[in-house]
Structure 1
């Protein structure tokens, strides 16, 4: 049986904006297709720079990035960009059209997608993101959460298989962050996307498969989200607070109550814990 080819293979990558400003040093890791990876760490540790390197917006100084087995370079970026979509923290920076419909269609037009297929994709992904009723609206009329949905729909309409979310929830209110997280979970369940989240949001990290922790330009840890939220030292370094289910389990452990792995992985610790408490 052949080993599954990574969506990304990063080998000894270093980057600096200038010799006096090193940002990343000797990074190596792989990301499997269909997985959801969170890149976390304190401000200034290089997360967004790494996102731009992975998205082909910056070129590495040293080392190599492979996307689906192809070396990411100036010669291949045109081909590989069709596989990669990026969603940024401020959706206003991604708006091009004067209406939601025009905005979602813009990238398709630039790729010369036939008109009928373009219309079908625009309406299909607008319905998928529950913004079909907003297609005639001007972006200025939308809430922050609606704008981010439009930005995601515009990326999904291009049908990439790798999507990078660069702090996409950081400018949203609590309700909109929850709605975005539901969208990301739904995308994960589809299994067709490799997802990379640069985020400080504990719930978003917890929903992913894996957390890569950056610190001082290097990889401080590569572990599951649950393992990350058990490590108080890492949490303090990343300025993260464990989500409620993790904190609840820690308190239960102090009482001698062990939460079975199947409950923990289901994310339903709070809802399914009462029988264990009553039994205790």
Structure 2
């Protein structure tokens, strides 16, 4: 059990995922004592250290202003730390390695308008693939496959300005995923999606996670998305205050409050049923819990 350095009002017990005695795979992302400041005075990121191994799905949670988005922009060199060391996909984050690192890291921002570069959706998806020197035939296959997978095939010839907020976010996701990055960073990528689209995104992330070739870091307030991940990094005032499993996060009311989170309905109902003697285990979303309970009918 480890305790982070917190303000006097934020002392909480912290469970660190994994055991010191367990063999660890080589990290695909490693931060060591990383600090960052926008103005050179106040630290927006304070002495953050953690590692993420290949294939992990890690949620980054915290209240607004906790440093989540700033931290994500350090992963691929959109920002550079004032101190500390960052290694991404085996490469140290220095200017000479930026091009190689950014080919390994795909980032989807909260505001999809920041990512559009093409005059049509199809051109926007193709833009990143052209940068990979992909053949026309392979580009066509990749565009069609991912457009179909994320439900934007009917939008391929539209201008981005014609799309709704949710459609724009789907296209931004499709454009990044079509490049099949080794590391996928989602910065509140589901914030503009409706409930069905959020479920579709979570389902897609689950499928990607099962493949084992993607490492996913998801900044999110969506409880179901957090439950579907395997690990949560909780941020507070620029510091990492907890590295826990989703179950441990939602079982800790103080930590949930600190992160401005509420447990998903499926988790709260499962906890209540377990407290009444029903051993029903863990469920990633409400539908999984409903399907399980229906089996008793």
Q: Quote the residue 2:241 is aligned against.
A: 220
Q: Quote the residue 2:62 is aligned against.
A: 41
Q: Quote the residue 1:11 is aligned against.
A: 32
Structure 2 stretches lacking a partner, 5+ long: 1-22
Q: Distance in 2 between matches of 1:228 and 1:266?
A: 14
Q: Quote the residue 2:173 is aligned against.
A: 152
Q: Quote the residue 2:123 is aligned against.
A: 102
| 1:170 counterpart (184, 188, 191) | 191
Q: Distance in 2 between matches of 1:18 and 1:73?
A: 21
Q: Distance in 2 between matches of 1:129 and 1:71?
A: 33
Deviations 1:50-73 (A, max 9, x none): 000012210111111111222111
Q: Quote the residue 1:186 is aligned against.
A: 207
Q: Quote the residue 1:250 is aligned against.
A: 271
Q: Quote the residue 2:13 is aligned against.
A: none
| 1:68 and 2:89 correspond | yes
Aligned to 1:19, the other structure's residue is in SS state coil
Q: Quote the residue 1:55 is aligned against.
A: 76
Q: Distance in 2 between matches of 1:3 and 1:199?
A: 26
1:223 to partner: Cα distance: 0.6
**Cα gap change, 1:216/1:266 in structure 2, threshold over 3 Å: closer, same or farther?**
closer
Return the TM-score normalized by structure 2: 0.85
Q: Quote the residue 1:202 is aligned against.
A: 223
Q: Distance in 1 between matches of 2:120 and 2:239?
A: 42
Q: Distance in 2 between matches of 1:198 and 1:3?
A: 24
| 2:292 counterpart (268, 272, 279) | 272
Tell me, yes or no, if the aligned pair for 2:76 and 2:93 is still in contact at 8 Å. no
Aligned to 1:235, the other structure's residue is in SS state helix
Q: Quote the residue 2:41 is aligned against.
A: 20
Deviations 1:68-126 (A, max 9, x none): 22211111111111100000112122111121111101122234433333223222322
Structure 1 stretches lacking a partner, 5+ long: none
Tell me, yes or no, if the aligned pair for 1:24 and 1:46 is still in contact at 8 Å. yes
| 1:91 counterpart (97, 103, 112) | 112
Aligned to 1:58, the other structure's residue is in SS state coil
Q: Distance in 1 between matches of 2:108 and 2:247?
A: 25
**Cα gap change, 1:137/1:274 in structure 2, threshold over 3 Å: closer, same or farther?**
closer
